Amino acid sequence: MSAASINRFGTGAFVLFTLTAPWLLPLFVDAFWVDIYSEILIWSLLAASVNLLYGYVGLLSFGQALYFGLGMYGVAVGVAKFGLGFWPAFGFGIFLATAMAVVTGALAVRLTWHYFAIITVVFSLIFYFMALSWKPVTGGDDGMPFTIPPVFSMGDFEVTFKDPTTQYFFIVITIGICYWLLNRILQSPLGRAFVTVRENDLRATLIGLNVYAIRLAAFVIAGFLAGVAGALFAFFGRYASSIYMFYHVSGEAVVWAIIGGIGTLFGPVIGTGLLIILREELSSVWQHYQILVGVIIILTVIFAPKGLGGLWARAVDYIASRSSNGGDAK
């Protein structure tokens, strides 16, 4: 088997599992794991936004929760305060997050490395404290619940999130589209330019690439992805809260991305999945389970700098080279 066919098989198995999870998972575990799986997929998109910036463009953002939070608030405020329907609220949330990424990114991507990391934290904290204190609009840390409008309605016929299967597949399809888009962009000239900038920004400008514009483009796409994740999470939880804008959330996304494997498309899904499962299983029985998370991070950084996604790629290469050697009639 070639490396490409193993990867295709892996992707196929993952897609098949995702499409059958609402029926498959309850056969083996409690039905609430379907919800946890939706949650993993949503959060993986936040990790993917970190991964796009860090893994492909070389910018480590500790502030992606800001765009996630704005996606959430756009939906919640849109529905609860402006009386928007499902789609306008969804669009409003994504728009707010993306617009914020344009404005903050225009300033932030002038910096790199720790300066960039610090400014992204600062931006997210500014808006976190604003959301926390602006209670009439945001509900502060009590959160802002809302009644979810139907996705589609015509006479008596309604498609709504009240049906768990509809909710699940809406989330899956939206996230599927996001990953498809991300993959498409990474395979484009712009995606190649991202990696070029990560590798050597001075050389990139010398061959005529506008490094600032390339970094800003990545930052805005990352903000968009985080915004979609936040908007979906608002629909999923039927509420928004400032706690999801705190930098702790940004930090978790960085951890998920690193453990999953920066610079790999599906790494963030693996990392997010593993750590959320760990949290679900351990946090109730062991208060200090995050010590274990810390150990996993340290081990990953030392022994698998490209994360689980990188280990997977190495394993695939190994199997592929062994099977091709075995296939030769020597």
The rounded distance, in Å, linking the Cα atoms of 88 and 74 is 10
**C-beta of 141: minimal distance to another protein in Å?**
38
**C-beta of 310: minimal distance to another protein in Å?**
13
The rounded distance, in Å, linking the Cα atoms of 260 and 51 is 9
Nearer residue to another protein within complex by CB, 5 or 187:
187
**C-beta of 217: minimal distance to another protein in Å?**
7
Query: What residues contact 272, with CB distance under 8 A and at least 6 apart?
Result: 40, 43, 44, 46, 47, 256, 260
Q: Does 207 interact with another protein (rule: CB under 8 A)? A: yes
Nearer residue to another protein within complex by CB, 18 or 98:
98
| Helix H or strand E encompassing 163 | none
Q: Is the Cβ–Cβ distance between 66 and 251 less than 8 Å? A: no
Binding mask 231-270 for another protein (x = CB under 8 A): ----------------------------------------
Residue of the chain from 7, 160, 166, 205 that contacts another protein (CB under 8 A):
205
φ, ψ for residue 286, nearest 5 deg: -135, 110
Q: Name which of 128, 123, 74 is nearest 102 in CA terms.
A: 123
Q: What is the DSSP string of 127-195?
A: HHHHHHH-HHHH-GGG-EE-PPPPSEEETTEEE-TTSHHHHHHHHHHHHHHHHHHHHHHHTSHHHHHHH
**C-beta of 203: minimal distance to another protein in Å?**
5
Residue of the chain from 4, 16, 106, 213 that contacts another protein (CB under 8 A):
213
| Residue type for position 319 | I
* Size, binding site for another protein by CB under 8 A: 26
**C-beta of 306: minimal distance to another protein in Å?**
11
Q: Which residue do the tokens 């993959």 mark?
A: 183
Sign of CA dihedral 269, 129, 231, 24: positive
Nearer residue to another protein within complex by CB, 57 or 79:
57
**C-beta of 191: minimal distance to another protein in Å?**
7
Footprint of another protein on residues 25-64 (CB under 8 A)? none
Helix axes 247-260, 290-303, angle to 10 degrees: 40
**C-beta of 213: minimal distance to another protein in Å?**
7
Q: Does 323 interact with another protein (rule: CB under 8 A)? A: no
Binding mask 164-193 for another protein (x = CB under 8 A): --------------------xx-xxxxxxx
Q: Does 319 interact with another protein (rule: CB under 8 A)? A: no
Binding site for another protein (CB under 8 A): 184-185, 187-193, 195-196, 199-200, 202-211, 213-214, 217
